Chains A and B, each alone.
Chain A
Amino acid sequence: MRNSRSLVSDHRRHDRLLVARYAVGDAQFGQDHEAQDLIQRCSECAALADDIGRLSRAVGQLPAARRPRDFRLTAEQADKLRGSRLERWLRALTGSGWAAVRPVAAVALSLGLVMSVVGVLPILGAATPGAPPTTTDMSVGAAPSPDVHRSDTNGMEGPTVAPGRELGDSDGPMNAQGSADSELNNAYVDASPGARPVPDEAGAPEAATPSALGVREVLIYAGLSLTAIALVILVLLYAARQRFSDPLLR
Chain B
Amino acid sequence: MKEMVEATPSPSASAVDDSAEPVDDGAVAAKPHDDLQHVRDRALVQRAVGGDLEAFNEIVLLYQDYLFALVVRVVHDRESAADAVQEALFSCYRNLDRFRGDSFRSWLTRIALNAATDVLRYRKRRPADPYPEWEDDSWQPPAGEEASPERRAMRNQTARALTEALAEITTDQRTAIVLYDVEGFDYQEIADITGVSLGTVKSRIHRGRLALRELLGADMELLRD
Contacts and interface: CB of A to CB of B under 8 A. Distances in A.
Asked whether A and B interact, the reply is yes
Interface of A: 16-17, 20-21, 23-26, 48, 50-73, 75, 77-78, 81-83, 91-92, 95-96, 246-250
B172 interface: no
Given A56-B181, A60-B15, A69 B210 contact: no
A54 B61 CA distance: 33
B182 A81 contact: no
A73 B72 contact: no
A64 B10 contact: yes
Given A78-B53, A81-B90, A62 B118 contact: no
9 contacts: A25-B22, A52-B213, A58-B162, A59-B16, A61-B12, A64-B10, A71-B68, A72-B61, A248-B87
Interface residues on B, range: 35 or more
Nearest to B163: A62
B98 interface: yes
Contact of A66 (B21, B133, B207): B133
Contact of B13 (A55, A56, A61, A71): A61
B98 A55 contact: no
A59 B182 contact: yes
A59 B131 contact: no
A18 to B, nearest CB: 9
Given A68-B68, A68-B82, 18 more contacts: A25-B20, A51-B224, A56-B181, A59-B212, A60-B12, A62-B12, A63-B133, A64-B142, A69-B82, A71-B85, A78-B56, A82-B93, A95-B97, A96-B100, A247-B118, A249-B98, A249-B114, A250-B114
A16 B87 CA distance: 40
A72 B64 CA distance: 8
Contact of B159 (A16, A63, A78, A95): A63
Contacts of A64: 9-13, 65, 69, 142
Contacts of A26: 22-23, 202, 206
Contact of B177 (A59, A67, A77, A249): A59
Contact of B209 (A52, A92, A96): A52
A65 B130 contact: yes
A242 B58 CA distance: 31
A214 to B, nearest CB: 48
